[in-house]
Amino acid sequence: MSRLMEKPTEYVLCNALSSCAKTMNWHFGVQIHANMIRSGYENNMFLSTALVDFYAKCFCIVDAKKIFRAMKVHDQVSWTSLIVGFSANKLGREAFLLFKEMLGTRIRPDCFTLTSVVNACVGENGVVNPCSSLHVHVIIRGFDTSNFVISSLVDCYASCGRIDDAVLLFNETNEKDTVIYNTMISGYCQNMYSEDALKLFVEMRGKNMSPTDHTVSSILSACSRLAVLVEGKQVHSLVIKMGFENVFVNGALIDMYSKGGDIDEARSVLDQTSRKNTVLLTSMIMGYAQCGRSLEALEFFDYLLTEQKLIPDHVCFSAVLTACSHAGFIDKGEEYFNKMITDHGLSPDIDQYTCLIDLYARNGDLRKVRDLMEEMPYDPSFIIWSSILSACKIYGDVELGREAANQLIKMEPCNAAPYLTLAHIYARQGLWNELSEVRSLMQQRVKGKSAWSWV
């Protein structure tokens, strides 16, 4: 090894760095960087670009930026590498700003650049998602024939809720490949257009295009949203016929069966999965919790911990706490919550606090709800206040109910639900003046508006 590393060529170092980037092998990559400096290759643009890519993929975005800024010359690839780097580090805005900076140079973006910057903007819900202006660049540069660019644009439109624009672009694209179909199907699913997702799947089959494992995982999640077990089972047959079994597909199958009410079939899919991961096991626990088989959820979790050496994550504890909440197991819920911190070294995020608050609230222990809200390092969310408000309705707590309703109204002034629940609480206690106040407030604000009209 040392002989090989004495006089490596630029070509060797470049490929080695690229491998380190792909495998996220930081330790080896920094040694190559050191070797590169020793060998006097610091000004090699290809190597510097590979370094940018390597550091970014290892989540050392600061180092990636430093290397990029120190470069004397750039080409399309080096610009694109840092854009991809920002994107991989969830810095979509910075990726977009870098793209704009690139437009000011004499280097023109190519389809790699455009795919990458569009992809970086997927899920960016900032002030305005720039998909339209990127789309303009795509058209100007004539990249609207590239399936890579089109599929990332479809995804970008769909991910920021502009499903109509996604459909428009999808429909006007002539040579649609499987990935574009998959992207559109997944876009429909993300936006809750589950029926349209199924329709497009049927269209795809009618055109004799072969579905992939990606197609079926989206379609299965559409089936689980629609709770259509019959269609879901047909897709399951297809999965077996085509041999699509992987963790994603099996995860979607488990979810489809448990949401469709056939928890035992979900378990049978899980048992047939050879490489089980925390996600699949969490789906299963959540499945038991949501169909009211809380004891089985907890037994299964305890079995996995002791016998299968499961390393639970935050989501897994949400599933366990949901099981406790649905069954009213207060002591067990507190025990799991504490064990999460002490035995598993996880600091609870707002979702687990939400589960525990919901557990207390459903059981009418509103004192503990208040204490936990004081203690937790998060601002109470809409979900938390909603679960408190429904508890106040059941247990007749006017004071806390009023506070919860006011918080909810502040967050979503045009949503009628909190006004109605508060009115219900007032009516139960015979507080007629308060009742008419909240009623007229609701009429002023909610009347004739949809729940989302303030957006």
Partner DNA sequence: ACCCGATGTC
Instruction: Find all residues with CB under 8 Å of 231, minimum gap 6, and list them.
Output: 198, 223
Q: Nearer to DNA by C-beta: 31 or 191?
A: 191
- Radius of gyration (C-alpha) of the chain in whole angstroms: 27
- Which listed range, 14-22, 26-34, 58-66, 228-236, lies at the site for DNA (CB under 7 A)? 14-22
What contacts 133, CB < 8 A, 6 or more positions away?
A: none
Question: How many residues contact DNA, by CB under 7 A?
Answer: 70
Q: In angstroms, how far is the first alpha carbon of the chain from the final one?
A: 61
Distances from the Cα of 404 to the Cαs of 88, 366, 372, 377, 421, in angstroms?
Answer: 39, 12, 15, 18, 10
- Write each residue from 299 to 318 as x if it is in contact with DNA (CB under 7 A), else as -, in one continuous string: ---------------xxx-x
| Nearest residue to 298 via CA among 257, 326, 271, 256 | 326
x/- map, 36-65, DNA, by CB under 7 A: --------xxxx-xx--x------------
Cα 434 to Cα 101, 264, 416, 418, 438: the distances in Å are 58, 50, 16, 14, 6
- The one-letter amino acid code at 71 reads M
Instruction: State yes or no: residue 412 binds DNA (CB under 7 A).
Output: no
Which residue has tokens 């000011």?
104
Q: How far is residue 158 from each of residues 83, 151, 174, 201, measured CA to CA in Å?
A: 21, 11, 19, 17
Nearest distance, CB of residue 302 and DNA, angstroms: 18
User: Residue 404 Cβ, how far from DNA at the closest point, in Å?
Assistant: 21
> What is the per-residue binding string for DNA in 109-148, x denoting contact by CB under 7 A?
-xxxx-xx--x--x------------------------xx
- Decide whether 372 or 442 has the Cβ nearer to DNA: 372
Find the binding residues for DNA in span 243-302 (CB under 7 A).
246-249, 251-252, 255, 277-280, 282-283, 286
Residue ranges that bind DNA, judged by CB under 7 A = 10-11, 14-15, 18, 21-22, 44-47, 49-50, 53, 75-78, 80-81, 84, 110-113, 115-116, 119, 122, 147-148, 151-152, 155, 177-180, 182-183, 186, 189-190, 212-214, 217-218, 221, 246-249, 251-252, 255, 277-280, 282-283, 286, 314-316, 318-319, 322, 351
